[in-house]
C-alpha cells in the first residue's frame, strides 16, 4: 500500500517550527485536538462539518510527523527546505494551516514585512517659498503678524537671495583728521625688527620700511595713516628709496 500523500506543510498545520521535537509535536496535536474536536460544535451541523475537516487535516499532519521515515522524507523535499530558509530569516508561523493552505485562525500567506521606521509628518511650506531674487514685498508675509518692511525712498529692492540683507553705508560728514607730521614721526612701532623705534627713526634708517607699512599693514588704521603722512613728506623732499636685493639673488645683467 503506497504512503498517503499530504498537501501543504504539516508543520504549518500544527503551528510548529521545522526543528520541533517529537514531544513538542505530540503536545501540540493534543492541544489542537481539544480545541477543534467536532464535539465542540454543540449540535451545529455546519460547525461540526467545519471542525471535522480541520481535525482530519490536523490528524493527517500529525500522522506524517510522528512517523520518523515519512518525516525525514518530507524534510528532504524542496518545499521543506524553502520553509526552513524562511524560518532562518526570522519568520516563524504562529498559527496552523487550514483549508486551502490558510491558517486555522484565518492567518496565512507570506511572512510579514520587516519592521520599518515610521514615516514622519510632512508640512506644507509652499506658502513661505520665494523665488530667487524675488523682492521681499512680493507675496504674503512668512510669519503671521510680521508684514514686510515698507520700502523707503531711495532704497534699492531687497533681494531674498542675499542672506544678510542689504548693506547700508553712510558717508560721514566730517572726514577723518590726518595726523600732523610731528605726530606721525613720534609714533612708536610695536612689532617687527624695528620694535620700539619711532616712525621718524625708521624714515631716517630705512625709508623703504615706511613704504612697506603704508602698503601692507591693514590691522592698524592709525599706524597706516601716520606712515602715509611720512611717505608723502619723503616724496615731497625727493628722497629716493632703494629696495634691497634678497639674499641669494644677483643684480640683473
Q: Quote the pLDDT of residue 9.
A: 87
Query: pLDDT-based confidence at 105, cuts 50/70/90?
Result: very low
Other CB atoms within a 10 A radius of the CB of residue 165 amount to 10
pLDDT tens profile 146-203: 555 565 555 555 555 555 555 566 666 666 778 899 999 999 998 888 889 999 999 8
Least confident of 70-84, 136-150, 185-199: 136-150
Least confident of 82-86, 96-100, 113-117, 133-137: 96-100
Query: pLDDT-based confidence at 16, cuts 50/70/90?
Result: confident
Q: Quote the pLDDT of residue 103.
A: 45
- Burial (CB < 10 A; 0-12, 13-18, 19+), residue 34, is exposed
Residues in the chain: 253
- For the chain, the structural domain boundaries read 10-101, 181-237
Q: Quote the pLDDT of residue 8.
A: 83
Report the CATH superfamily, name and number, of domain 10-101. DnaJ domain (1.10.287.110)
176: nearest Cα among 226, 237, 211, 119: 226
Q: Quote the pLDDT of residue 18.
A: 84
Q: Are 211 and 231 in contact (CB under 8 A)?
A: yes
Q: Quote the pLDDT of residue 26.
A: 92
Least confident of 56-70, 107-121, 139-153, 196-210: 139-153
Q: Is the pLDDT of residue 96 over 50?
A: no
Other CB atoms within a 10 A radius of the CB of residue 212 amount to 15
Least confident of 23-27, 70-74, 90-94: 90-94
Q: Is the pLDDT of residue 122 over 50?
A: yes
Most trustworthy range by pLDDT among 63-77, 98-112, 136-150, 167-181: 63-77
Task: Report pTM.
Answer: 0.36
Q: Quote the pLDDT of residue 27.
A: 92
Q: Write down the mean pLDDT value for the chain.
A: 75
> Which residue in this structure is represented by grid cell 508543520?
11
Q: Quote the pLDDT of residue 40.
A: 79
Amino acid at each position: 500500500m503506497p504512503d498517503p500523500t499530504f498537501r501543504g506543510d504539516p508543520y504549518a498545520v500544527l503551528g510548529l517550527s521545522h526543528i520541533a521535537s517529537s514531544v513538542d509535536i505530540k503536545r501540540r496535536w493534543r492541544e489542537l485536538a481539544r480545541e477543534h474536536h467536532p464535539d465542540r460544535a454543540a449540535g451545529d451541523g455546519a460547525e461540526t462539518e467545519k471542525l471535522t475537516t480541520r481535525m482530519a487535516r490536523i490528524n493527517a499532519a500529525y500522522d506524517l510527523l510522528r512517523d520518523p521515515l515519512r518525516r525525514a522524507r518530507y524534510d528532504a523535499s524542496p518545499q521543506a527546505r524553502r520553509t526552513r530558509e524562511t524560518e532562518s530569516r526570522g519568520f516563524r508561523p504562529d498559527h496552523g494551516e487550514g483549508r486551502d493552505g490558510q491558517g486555522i485562525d484565518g492567518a496565512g500567506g507570506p511572512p510579514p514585512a520587516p519592521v520599518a521606521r515610521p514615516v514622519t509628518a510632512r508640512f506644507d511650506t509652499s506658502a513661505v517659498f520665494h523665488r530667487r531674487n524675488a523682492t521681499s514685498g512680493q507675496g504674503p508675509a512668512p510669519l503671521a503678524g510680521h508684514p514686510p518692511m515698507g520700502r523707503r525712498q531711495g532704497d534699492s529692492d531687497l533681494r531674498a537671495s542675499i542672506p544678510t540683507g542689504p548693506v547700508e553705508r553712510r558717508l560721514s560728514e566730517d572726514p577723518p583728521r590726518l595726523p600732523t607730521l610731528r605726530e606721525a614721526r613720534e609714533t612708536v612701532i610695536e612689532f617687527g625688527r624695528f620694535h620700539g623705534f619711532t616712525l621718524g627713526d625708521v624714515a631716517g634708517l630705512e625709508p623703504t620700511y615706511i613704504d612697506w607699512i603704508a602698503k601692507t599693514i591693514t590691522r592698524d588704521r592709525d599706524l597706516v595713516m601716520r606712515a602715509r603722512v611720512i611717505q608723502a613728506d619723503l616724496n615731497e623732499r625727493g628722497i629716493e628709496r632703494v629696495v634691497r636685493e634678497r639674499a641669494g639673488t644677483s643684480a640683473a645683467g
